[in-house]
Amino acid sequence: MSSNIAEHYGLAGLEGWPGEGDPWTFLFERAKADRAEDATDLVPFWIFEKGQARIERRVPVMPFS
């Protein structure tokens, strides 16, 4: 959830970034370092709940199914 990572860390989260390479990689590595010790590898790459963005799931219901 890159929008949540951007919201949580903001531009201040890029402090220490050398200016070379991908800034998203730097932010995701920072979020990975800040995760709880018992968290799975899904955090922060698939799940990052420190922000307002949420996944909206829709399940289509087909007639006569």
pLDDT in tens, 2-53: 999 999 999 999 999 999 999 999 999 999 999 999 999 999 988 899 999 9
Length of the chain: 65
**CA angle, 10 as apex, 7 and 16 as ends, to 5°?**
145
pLDDT at residue 9 in the model: 94
Side-chain-side CA neighbours of 52 within 13 Å: the count stands at: 1
Predicted model pTM:
0.76
pLDDT at residue 65 in the model: 73
Average pLDDT score over residue span 47-64: 90
End-to-end CA distance of the chain: 33
